[in-house]
Amino acid sequence: MTQRLDHAPPKVPLLHDPRFRGIVYQVALCIIIGFLAYAAVDNAATNLERARIATGFDFWNHTAGFEISQTLIFYAADVSTYGRAFLVGLLNTLLVAILGVILATILGFIIGISRLSPNFLVSRLAGGYVELIRNIPLLLQLLFWYNAVLKTLPNIRESVTLPGSIFLNNRGLFFPRPDVVGGGATGYALLAGLLAAAVFLVIVRPRVPRLSGGGTATAVTAALVLLPPLVAVVVSDVHFVFERPEFGRFSLRGGVEILPEFVALLAGLVIYTASFIAEAVRAGLSSVPKGQTEAALALGLRRGATLRLVIMPQAMRVIIPPLTNQYLNLTKNSSLAVAIGYPDLVQVFTGTVLNNTGQAIEVVTITMAVYLALSLATSLLMNWYNARRALVER
Amino acid sequence: MMQDAADARSSSVAYVRTAPSAPMEPPMAERGIVRWVRENLFSSVLSSVLTVLVIALLIWVVPPLLKFLVFDAVWSGTDREACLVTPDRPEVGACWAFIRAWFPFFVYGPYPVDERWRVDVFFALLAFGIAWLLWLDAPRRDLGAAFFFIALPIISFVLLSGFPMIGLETVDTALWGGVLVTLVVASVGIVVSLPIGILLALGRRAEMPAVRLFSVIFIEFVRGVPLITMLFMASVMLPLFVPPAFSPDKLLRALVGITLFSSAYMAEVVRAGLQSIPKGQYEAAQALGLGYWRMLGLIILPQALKVTIPNIVNNTIALFKDTTLVFIVGIFDFLRTIEIARVDPRWATPVTSFTGYAFAALCYFVACYSMSRYARGIEHRLGAAERR
């Protein structure tokens, strides 16, 4: 007698069925979260009504009425709106973040490479830098640069004067602003050059196999971009007029003014982030097998060329993901500006605008959304770059 | 035979050496310190230039710094007069007298003087708990974990904020400050965020889509925004979301913000640990008939958390440095007490700010550096099992 094995699976009580349990847990979780959200919204409505705080985004178009110390676009306290103030803060954040990312990358790579230097002193110095900077809170470093270094510079009357009408004092760094006169054609020429380069990269290069790799394509692109404006500069009569800073009654007027808050924030962010980038670079370089260096040296490449042509391209695959993280951290850390009074997004919007309007929910939500968008944009960009760099395997 | 040959040679030749001579020393340039210097400091032109530059930099920075911090420093005094430049003392270094005068404030903040022994007891209990937890060979580490994660928070709360029924006066959290607040924020952050982080990590790896979705949204949202905005959210939005009767005090709001922030990062670290556990471990546990929670508690988490310890410690370092940010929402943490003290007119001198920051930097550095050494030690020890 053979027994038939295709009988139905044993009946499991409903309560012990993993699928049924899973559904119950999820429904319970949704109910709890839904209830919490409902309670929060309900409480918020009552609390706001009792405190007589307006809701909605109407404040966006109201006149701001406060000054901002650094504005990259036109802004005036008596005519500009809160929306404009938001934009000013956002641009200031982007300015410090972009400059910070560039400078921190340069400094971080120098220090990361130095840590693996055969020179004992250089590698120890780089190691000491990383250990010291990584273990001190960024906020403390920012306060140090701002209060203990930049604020102890001489006041305006006793400014440090450098040749070329450059003044350094505790209100910032002042230098002449170059104004271009008669350069209308240059802009158009640059535009034409960019267009030509785009045409070359998109249409010509894929069709000419000789250009697919190597430096030729880069050189042609650079020439296409740079030559037309250069020609335009030479042909038309372009010259610079410098607007020099002048001593007013209480301050320096005219020229370009760089706030000490900006310098302190940038210096702090760059120095702090560079120490983390250096660690990422060191880890990446160490991940390339020693045989690669030896093979390159055996082929007769110099040390510098070995690093540039053989080691770095392979190390970059390991370096890029943590590097992306550090760029995101730098952008997020730029919000510490609020502690030293640099008018970034958080200081202007979450600080002053929130205090003036009292609309905490709207203001904090917008700020968070901006940082989320910035994070997302940075990681998309870096993922795209990483995908281009990734090992192409057959 | 040999002896004969040697005799024959010695008789026919004027002089023959019979014993081998001692090997010659390598040339000076190839041994000892000279060789080390040549190889490590002057191996190429570039290296030589860099060596000279670094030495110049060290000479430029280190002696003046030592002079400022130690030799010219003022170690005792009662007010700013001690740290001012006088004709018979043209150079004044760091004003350590200022640190000594303000030291109790740095440690306790405005906590009432008569009740400060309670803070000392808290410090001692915390140190005991940390030592028990971090010393991997300590006896009964399960008891240690229970002490740190369950008993310590309750005892500390009763001790610090007071419990009139057993004779401890209530001390409002507005009076807490200094190192006390820094340690409270850091330890609450770690004690609360670790369990939440583990739950979130499990949620992110769960097979239930709703659970996974909520976990992913929470983790990615928190990791995408700066801590400051989380603190602002906690300090200005949280009071709006709860009935006025339960409105949390300032410190509690900051704690909520920093804990939520830290748990998202903790979740990612724990997730990495969970991913390192082979699937066979889960299958073996299920084959033994263990349910989900017992499988996690007895098989998976002990292994996953062990490999995660270095990363948890690294996260703790980051959290410890981040506690300084509560300063911005108006909490008297250690850095804030330094900021308050350094603008005190009684101690206003050109060197006061610098001294205050140097002291704070030293404290944070010692704390963070020892934690990172510990993490590296653990990593080495865990690696030893792999290297066998």
Rg, C-alpha atoms of chain A: 29
Q: Is residue A66 part of a domain?
A: no
Read out DSSP for B267-324? HHHHHHHHHTS-HHHHHHHHHTT--HHHHIIIIIHHHHHHHHHHHHHHHHHHHHHHGG
Which of chain B's residues have a Cβ under 8 Å away from the Cβ of A43? 240-243
Contact B244 A147 (CB under 8 A): no
Same domain, residue pair A221 and A368: no
- Counts of helices then strands in chain A (DSSP H, E): 15, 8
Q: Are A158 and A169 in the same domain?
A: yes
CB within 8 Å: B225 and A332: yes
Q: Quick check: helix, strand or coil at residue A80?
A: coil
Q: Are residues A291 and A228 in the same domain?
A: no
User: pLDDT exceeding 90 applies to what percent of chain B?
Assistant: 35
Tokens read off for A300: 């007769």
Q: What is the mean pLDDT of chain B?
A: 87
Q: Each residue of A245-258: b (16+ CB within 10 Å) or e?
A: beeeeeebeebebe
* Per-residue three-class SS string for B131-179: HHHHCCCCCCHHHHHHHHHHHHHHHHHHHHHCEHHHCECCCCHHHCCHH
What local confidence, expressed as pLDDT, does residue A232 receive? 76
List CB contacts (< 8 A) between B350 and chain A.
152
pLDDT recorded at residue A196:
85
The answer to whether the Cβ–Cβ distance between B40 and A118 falls below 8 Å is yes
How far apart (Å, rounded) are the C-alpha atoms in residues B305 and A76? 55
* Helix or strand holding residue A174 (H, E): strand A172-175
pLDDT of residue A142: 94
A187 and A296 co-located in one domain: no
Calpha distance A52→A218 (Å, rounded): 62
Q: A222 and A161, same structural domain? A: no
**What's the rounded Cα separation, in Å, for the pair B227 and B254?**
11
Q: What is the chain A residue with the closest CA to B53?
A: A122
B386 pLDDT band, cuts 50/70/90, is low
Residue A48: its H or E element: helix A18-51
A361 and A217 within one domain: no
Task: State the burial class of residue A143 (Cβ atoms within 10 Å of its Cβ: 0-12, 13-18, 19+).
Answer: buried
A22 contacts chain B (CB < 8 A)? yes
In a domain, A250, yes or no: no
CB proximity A248 to B under 8 Å: no
* Model pLDDT for residues B337-381, shown as the tens digit of each residue: 999 998 888 888 888 888 999 999 999 999 999 999 998 888 888
- The predicted pLDDT at position B236 comes to 86
All residues at 6 or more sequence positions from B375 whose CB lies less than 8 Å from its CB, including other chains: B309, B310, B311, B313, B314, B317
Distance to chain A for B139, nearest Cα, Å: 31
Q: Which chain B residue has its CA at the smallest distance from A149's CA?
A: B354
Asked whether the beta carbons of residue B324 and residue A137 sit closer than 8 angstroms, the reply is: yes
Name the residue facing B226 among A135, A144, A371 (closest C-beta): A371
Two tokens, residue A203: 């249409």
Smallest Cβ distance to A361: which of B50, B237, B243?
B237
Residue A14 identity: L
Q: Are residues A291 and A382 in the same domain?
A: yes
In a domain, A271, yes or no: yes
A252 is a domain residue: no
Tell me the whole-structure pTM to 2 decimals: 0.84
pLDDT at position B320 over 90: yes
Query: Given an 8 Å threshold on Cβ–Cβ distance, is A29 in contact with B209?
Result: no
Q: Residue for token digits 């430096």?
A: A215
Instruction: Note whether residue A41 is domain-resident.
Output: yes
Whether A91 is covered by a domain: the verdict is: yes
Which residues span the domain enclosing A313?
82-176+258-389
Cα B117 to Cα A144: distance, rounded to the nearest angstrom: 33
Residue A57 lies in a domain: no
Question: Would you call A325 an interface residue with chain B, using a CB distance cutoff of 8 Å?
Answer: no
Give A360's contacts (C-beta < 8 A, 6+ positions apart): A354, B236, B237, B240
Residues of chain B found within 8 Å of residue A132, distances taken between Cβ atoms: 365
For residue A120, the chain B residue with the least C-alpha distance is: B40
Dihedral (CA of A256, A261, A267, A269) sign: negative
Which residues of chain A are within 8 Å of residue B47 when distances are taken between CB atoms?
A: 117-119, 122
Asked if A354 is an interface residue toward chain B (Cβ–Cβ < 8 A), one would say: yes
Q: Does B111 score more than 90 pLDDT?
A: no
Chain-wide mean pLDDT for chain A? Answer: 84
pLDDT tens digits, B159-210: 888 888 887 888 888 888 889 999 999 999 998 999 999 999 999 988 888 8
Which residues 300-319 in chain A show a CB within 8 A of chain B?
A: 303
Closest Cβ–Cβ partner in B51, B229, B236 for A121 = B51
Tell me if B54 and A144 make a contact (CB, 8 A cut-off). no
Rounded Cα distance, B120 and B107, in Å: 10
B278 CA: distance to closest CA in chain A (Å): 22
For A43, which of B243, B322, B342 is closest by C-beta distance? Answer: B243
pLDDT at A34: 93
Residue-wise pLDDT for A335-350, tens only, equals 999 999 899 999 888 8
Q: Looking at the structure, tell me whether residues A197 and A158 fall in a common domain.
A: no
Q: Which conformational region is residue B140 in: left (phi greater than 0), alpha (psi within -120 to 50 degrees), or beta?
A: left
Chain B residue nearest residue A137, CA to CA: B321
Identify which of B50, B229, B342 has the shortest CB distance to residue A371: B229
What is the chain B residue with the closest CA to A118?
B40
Q: Tell me the chain B residues in contact with residue A345 when contact means C-beta distances shorter than 8 Å.
A: none
Residue B225, C-beta contacts closer than 8 angstroms, at least 6 positions apart: A332, A368, A371, A372, A375
Q: Per-residue pLDDT tens for B76-94?
A: 888 888 888 887 777 788 8
Is A134 an 8 Å CB contact of chain B? yes
Q: What is the ipTM of this complex?
A: 0.87
Q: Judge whether residue B55 has pLDDT over 60.
A: yes
For residue A128, is it within any domain? Answer: yes
Same domain, A283 and A194: no
What is the pLDDT confidence band of residue B136, given thresholds at 50, 70 and 90? confident
Count CB pairs under 8 A between chains A and B: 149
- Subunit contact B47:A119, Cβ cutoff 8 A: yes
Of A147, A332, A339, the CB nearest to B226: A332
Nearest alpha-carbon partner for A273 in A321, A319, A329, A324: A329
In A, which residues are within 8 Å of B369 by CB distance?
Answer: 131, 135
Nearest-CA residue of chain B relative to A30?
A: B210
Residue of A nearest to B358 (CA): A144
Domains and CATH numbers, chain B: 103-111+171-387 (1.10.3720.10)
A349 to chain B: closest CA residue:
B229
Q: How close B208 comes to chain A (CA, Å)?
A: 6
pLDDT at A246: 72
Nearest beta carbon to residue A350 from set B50, B232, B339: B232
User: Which member of B240, B335, B350 has the closest CB to residue A360?
Assistant: B240
What does each of the 394 residues of chain A score in pLDDT, given as a tens digit?
455 556 666 677 777 777 888 888 889 999 999 999 998 888 888 888 887 777 777 788 888 778 888 888 888 878 888 888 899 999 999 999 999 999 999 999 999 999 988 889 999 999 999 999 999 999 999 999 998 888 888 777 777 777 777 778 777 788 777 776 666 677 777 888 888 888 887 777 777 766 655 567 778 888 888 888 788 777 776 666 777 777 766 666 667 788 889 999 999 999 999 999 999 999 999 999 999 999 999 999 988 889 889 999 889 888 988 898 899 999 999 999 999 989 999 988 888 888 888 888 888 899 999 999 988 888 788 778 877 776 665 5
> Are residues A158 and A187 located together in one domain of the fold?
no
**Which of A30, A368, A370, A379 is the best substitution to test chain B (most B C-beta atoms within 10 A)?**
A368
- Whether A135 and B339 lie within 8 Å, measured CB to CB: no
Touching check for A152 and chain B: CB below 8 Å? Answer: yes
Closest chain B C-alpha to A333 CA, distance in angstroms: 7
| Same-domain pairing of A239 and A367 | no
For residues B88-98, one letter each, b for 16 or more C-beta atoms within 10 angstroms of the residue's C-beta and e for the rest, the string is eeeebbbbbbb
Q: Which pLDDT score is estimated for B5?
A: 58
CB contact under 8 A, B350 and A152: yes
Q: What is the CATH number of the domain that holds A276?
A: 1.10.3720.10
Measured between beta carbons, the chain B residues lying within 8 angstroms of A22 are 207-208
Given an 8 Å threshold on Cβ–Cβ distance, is A47 in contact with B43? no
Which of A161-170, B231-240, B247-256 is predicted least confidently?
A161-170
B321–A137: do the CB atoms touch at under 8 Å?
yes
Q: A278 and A226 share a domain? A: no
Domain count for chain A: 3
Considering CB atoms only, which of B57, B240, B317 is closest to A361? B240
